[in-house]
Chain A
Amino acid sequence: MSLPAPAIEVDRLVKTYNGSTAVDGISFSIARGAIVGLLGGNGAGKTTTISAIMGLVLPTSGAVRVLGIDMQRDRHRVLHRMNFESPYVDLPGRLTVRQNILTFARLYGLADPKARVRELAQELDLTDFLERPTGKLSAGQKTRVALAKALVNDPEVLLLDEPTASLDPDTASWIRDRIARHRDERGASILLASHNMREVERLCDRVIFMRRGRIVADAPPAELLERYGRATMEDVFIDVARGQAALDTLESLP
């Protein structure tokens, strides 16, 4: 019996915009049930990579497969099994929280959309503001609603682009717990782009560092700490973002 395809496979992905290279020939795969962090400074190519995985951006060359499906050609065959959250999209602000989640429950073809809304409302503590317009919520409440939308179809593959950005520590911690629980209970595969290194250390089995469109490191957090001789992932991040690691390597050469 053949093994199931990886959750996500990125194969020699290149993306250029008007001659400027955003992603430069990266390859990686994510096993089913893994949480992988995608890190890098601003402009490293993280959002373009995630967009290509979602099929919202067409690669200049290379390929992306999700659950074995080619995202360039057949993305509609797998979209109902995945979901995402991104700071670059919003839910319509005039619609109530219930209306927004209900719409996506129906778009994902759930058998009982209203029951799913009730379930998510309880799970994510949304019950008190289900009837409020989404645009009138606080940042933390909006993030919880966005997460409810991202979890509405109980996705096998979940893409999260900075899910806890601009949240207070308590809400951020709460969101992280929910993400971890989704992996544990669903066996879901999660790709997480984040600038929060504590979050990465806490959640990720593996970390992919990008710099100027290329992968410069790909290993579990503990291994990266050891490799770079640093105490925290934040220090590793700074090294990688500034290219210090490459300089250190050059200096250590005989």
Chain B
Amino acid sequence: MTEAPPYRAFSPARIGAMVLRQWYVLRSSWPRLLEIVYWPAMSMLTWGFLQVWVGQQSGAAAMIAGTLLGAVLLWDVLVRGGLGFSITFLEEMYARNIGNLMMSPLTPLEFIVSLSVMSVIRLMIGLVPVSLIALALFGFNLWGLGFPLIAFFVNLIFTSWAVSLVVAGLILRHGLGAESLAWTAIFIMMPLCAVYYPVAILPEPVQAVAWALPPSYVFEGMRALLIDGVFRGDLMLWALALNALYFSLAALLFLRLLEGARTAGSLLASSGE
């Protein structure tokens, strides 16, 4: 007879089990692995050649060109971090496995942590080869940014998780009819968080919105580093504070939506439209 192990409110072993299970899914399909590298590579090549061309111009244009690849790679951290989280979650929905997971001892917090870990794994699978291409073809060394890169990365990945957490909650509550949000939600930030241009270029009312978004601080920080050679720790701290706020709100909203799914009975009908 197998004795039930004692109850544990939080178990790293359960998170490990989920990460391993999601890794099995990922490695079972080479097209999935290829897709993780394909789009970032295409995006980086396009913007890389643009940077080369603009860099051949004189004056301000050449200076701005030096930040393009950094912006592309960091924007990809935001997008791919979010997609890594959302796609891993969607794999469970597509497999109609959510009911099994929700009936297991896995807690919502452990589920969220496992999705976050997989998001980083997927992101690294895409980012490492692409950053090496950027270095080889365009001489842009992302990893040479050192500590500031860690600050940029942490802030962007937390923003992506906050957005994806809300999307996951909406899909749990409303079914796969809300799936398209997983692919598109993060892009609402693109014009607002000053990826390729300074916040100051935006109309004044929009600037207030931009400064409410953590990625704006990251992209401003990146430009300060690449153009002026200055690491703006103050910007990173602002971004971190906003991320802490948004991630907490997103986690609360996810739990509310999960309760809503239990009320509506949509957890068993997890593939419902």
Contact surface of A with B, Cβ cutoff 8 Å: 15, 17, 47-48, 51, 54-58, 76-77, 79-84, 86, 88-95, 99, 103-104, 106-111, 116, 133, 149, 153-154, 156, 185-186
Contact = CB atoms under 8 A, between A and B. Distances in A.
A93 B99 contact: no
B2 interface: yes
A87 to B, nearest CB: 10
A89 B7 contact: no
Which of A111, A153, A156 has the largest number of chain B CB atoms within 10 A?
A153
B269 A80 contact: no
A109 B92 CA distance: 20
B110 to A, nearest CB: 9
Nearest to A104: B104
Given A84-B103, A107-B17, 19 more contacts: A56-B102, A56-B267, A57-B263, A58-B263, A76-B7, A86-B99, A88-B99, A90-B96, A94-B95, A99-B21, A106-B16, A107-B14, A107-B18, A110-B2, A111-B5, A133-B28, A153-B2, A154-B2, A186-B1
B35 interface: no
A57 B8 contact: no
A17 B103 CA distance: 21
A8 B197 CA distance: 62
A31 to B, nearest CB: 19
A93 B97 CA distance: 10
Contact of A89 (B5, B100, B107): B100
Contacts of B101: 107
Tell me if A's interface is mostly helix, strand, loop or mixed: mixed
Given A58-B259, A83-B103, A103 B21 contact: yes
A181 to B, nearest CB: 12
B1 A154 contact: yes
Given A92-B95, A95-B25, A109-B14, A80 B4 contact: yes
A56 B103 contact: yes
A177 B267 CA distance: 30
Contacts of A90: 95-97
15 contacts: A17-B264, A51-B265, A57-B263, A76-B7, A89-B99, A94-B28, A107-B17, A107-B18, A107-B104, A107-B105, A108-B104, A109-B8, A154-B3, A154-B4, A185-B1
Contacts of A93: 95
Contacts of B1: 154, 185-186
A234 B82 CA distance: 53
B9 interface: yes
Contacts of A92: 21, 25, 91-92, 95, 97
Interface in B90-130: 91-92, 95-107
Given A106-B16, A109-B13, A186-B1, A79 B103 contact: yes
Contact of A76 (B2, B21, B105): B105
Contacts of B259: 58
B265 to A, nearest CB: 5
Closest 10 CB pairs of A and B: A106-B17, A89-B99, A154-B2, A92-B95, A109-B5, A103-B21, A90-B96, A80-B105, A88-B268, A107-B104
A48 B270 CA distance: 14
A77 B270 CA distance: 24
Which of A48, A80, A93, A133 has the largest number of chain B CB atoms within 10 A?
A80
Interface of B: 1-5, 7-9, 11, 13-14, 16-18, 20-21, 24-25, 28-29, 91-92, 95-107, 259, 262-265, 267-270
A58 B105 contact: no
Nearest to A80: B105
A49 B74 CA distance: 49
Contacts of A153: 2, 4
B108 to A, nearest CB: 9
Nearest to A119: B2
A127 to B, nearest CB: 19
Contacts of A51: 265, 267-268
A117 to B, nearest CB: 12
A90 B268 CA distance: 10
A108 B17 CA distance: 10
Contacts of B20: 103, 106
Given A76-B7, A106-B20, A56 B97 contact: no
Nearest to B269: A88
Contacts of B21: 92, 95, 99, 103
Contact of B24 (A99, A109, A154): A99
A93 B25 CA distance: 9
A79 B104 contact: yes
Which of A77, A92, A99 has the largest number of chain B CB atoms within 10 A?
A92
Contacts of B267: 51, 56-57
A56 B9 CA distance: 18
